[in-house]
Chains A and B, each alone.
Chain A
Amino acid sequence: MEAIVTQFFNIEIMVKALPLVLQGFGITLLICVVVIPLGLVGGLLAALASVSQNRALRWSAIAFVDLFRAVPPLVLLIFIYAGLPFAGLSLSPFAAVAIGFFLNNSAYFAEIFRAGLLSVHKGQTEAARSTGLTQTQALIHVVLPQATRNVLPDLMSNVVEVIKLTSLASVVSLGEMLHAAGLVRSLTYNASPLVLAAVIYLVMLWPVVRLISRFERRIAS
């Protein structure tokens, strides 16, 4: 029991690790601020393409989405970070993370937005068009608000997934929170810094996870 406390919940080591881990947390937030909007925008565009009347556009959007849902994000990330330099394209860890996550997140957000767009009844567009709104206006003012609302829990839970996914950036030596915690662990041979990082993730994400569960139940009933 005592071993568990000293090895996992060692306050002394946690205190020492805190500044570095918090610095990493700042980078985690920075990654989130960049990749979440990128993924939302990319996903929305891909979703719009995937329900378009244009056959070629529709199928290429679906192919894009399925391809990047099939490749594990870590594989994509390592491919971009460690593979592309062989082709003369060297990217900073941050750029590699941003691009890899953009591709991965867009695919997942696209599936969600697509489901949302398909959930809005055709009569809504017709009513809007019958009062003179253009296709784009109908989309912006009538279809998108409903589509987004219908899939809000899914969007939120995917945002949680993205935040969790930022921990992969540690693999390409981007100094986010897990990377910082892992570094201190390797110096102290003690797992407490990792527990510290876990606690910070938990504090950040648990309320959201709870909220989503509640949301989903409300929609189901």
Chain B
Amino acid sequence: MEAFLDTFFNGAVLARYAPSILQGVWVTVLLSVLIVISGIAGGSALACLRAYRIRLLSVLIVIYADIFRALPPLVLILLVFFGLPNIGILLSSFTVLYLILTLVLAAFAEEIVWAGITAVPKGQWEASRSTGLGFTQTLIWVVLPQAVRIVIPPLTNRAIAITKMTALGMVIGVPDILGQATTAQSFSANASPLMLAAIAYVFLFLPLVIFSRWLETRFAAPGV
């Protein structure tokens, strides 16, 4: 038991590295917030564009969404982080992580919001247009508000899954929670920083997971 505590909850190690892991928490939170805001905004905008059914535009959006849903984010991250400098574009690891995860979240968000838009019955469009509202007005005032209900639970789940991927930043040296913890672990030769990191993630994400569970029951359609 004592050996266990010494390995995973070593007071001295924890005290020494807690500040740097706390800094990592700040980086993770900042990244997550930025990714969620820009990813969902971007994805929703793309889904709305698709509603206009301009053929070429829709095809391009679908291709983008498919590629970013099919490729592992880590592949994209390594590709951009190690590839771009070779053609003279230097981006910080933070920027690369932010960009890629935003693009990935936007791809998923586009599909989810689009599914929500198409789930609204055609009669809603017809009713709205028959009262003289334009296409865009119908989209904004009639269709999107109904789509939101369908879209929120899966979008929340996806946003959580993708913000958790900020941990991938460790691979390219982003000083997020996991990055700080692995550095600390190699300096201290002790597993406590990793344990602290795991606890930090649980502390950050468990409330969100529980919140998403609540959302699902709240928005659940009776008898799927």
- Enumerate chain A interface residues (CB-CB to B < 8 A): 3-4, 7-8, 66-67, 69-76, 78-79, 82-84, 86-87, 115, 119, 121, 150, 160-161, 164-168, 170-171, 178, 182, 185, 189-191, 194-195, 197-198, 201-202, 205-206, 208-210, 213, 216-217, 220-221
Q: Are A87 and B66 in contact (CB under 8 A)?
A: no
Q: Are B202 and A70 in contact (CB under 8 A)?
A: yes
For the complex, would chain A's binding face be called helix, strand, loop or mixed by DSSP majority? helix
Find chain A residues with CB under 8 A from B86 CB.
3, 7, 189-191
Task: Choose one: B3, B70, B82, B205; the contact of A185 (CB below 8 Å).
Answer: B82
Given A7-B83, A164-B73; A178-B78 close (CB under 8 Å): yes
Q: Are A8 and B213 in contact (CB under 8 A)?
A: no
Alpha-carbon distance A73/B167, docked complex (angstroms): 9
Q: Are A209 and B66 in contact (CB under 8 A)?
A: yes
Q: Are B7 and A86 in contact (CB under 8 A)?
A: yes
Instruction: Tell me if B15 counts as interface (CB < 8 A to partner A).
Output: no
Given A8-B83, A194-B82, A194-B83; A86-B190 close (CB under 8 Å): yes
CB distance from B213 to the nearest CB of A (A): 7
Instruction: Tell me if B185 counts as interface (CB < 8 A to partner A).
Output: yes
Count residues of chain B with CB under 8 A from any CB of chain A.
Answer: 57
Among B4, B82, B166, B208, the most chain A Cβ lie within 10 Å of the Cβ of B82
What are 25 A-B pairs with beta-carbon distances under 8 A?
Answer: A3-B87, A7-B83, A66-B210, A72-B166, A74-B170, A74-B178, A75-B194, A79-B194, A83-B195, A87-B3, A87-B8, A115-B216, A119-B223, A164-B71, A166-B72, A167-B72, A168-B74, A171-B170, A189-B86, A195-B79, A198-B75, A202-B71, A206-B70, A213-B111, A220-B118
Find chain A residues with CB under 8 A from B3 CB.
87
Alpha-carbon distance A182/B74, docked complex (angstroms): 11
Closest A residue, CB atoms, query B167: A72
Q: Are B72 and A164 in contact (CB under 8 A)?
A: yes
Find chain A residues with CB under 8 A from B190 CB.
86
Instruction: Tell me if B197 counts as interface (CB < 8 A to partner A).
Output: yes
Alpha-carbon distance A22/B45, docked complex (angstroms): 38
Alpha-carbon distance A86/B120, docked complex (angstroms): 55
Alpha-carbon distance A74/B198, docked complex (angstroms): 10
For the complex, would chain B's binding face be called helix, strand, loop or mixed by DSSP majority? helix
Task: Choose one: A84, A167, A189; the contact of B75 (CB below 8 Å).
Answer: A167
Given A70-B201, A167-B74, A220-B115; A75-B178 close (CB under 8 Å): yes
Alpha-carbon distance A67/B115, docked complex (angstroms): 29
Task: Choose one: A8, A165, A182; the contact of B78 (CB below 8 Å).
Answer: A182
Find chain B residues with CB under 8 A from A165 CB.
72
CB distance from B169 to the nearest CB of A (A): 10
Find chain B residues with CB under 8 A from A205 CB.
70-71
Task: Choose one: A189, A194, A202; the contact of B67 (CB below 8 Å).
Answer: A202
Given A7-B87, A74-B167; A201-B75 close (CB under 8 Å): yes
Alpha-carbon distance A190/B83, docked complex (angstroms): 7
Alpha-carbon distance A72/B202, docked complex (angstroms): 9
Closest B residue, CB atoms, query A190: B86
Given A185-B82, A217-B118; A170-B74 close (CB under 8 Å): yes
Instruction: Tell me if B209 counts as interface (CB < 8 A to partner A).
Output: yes
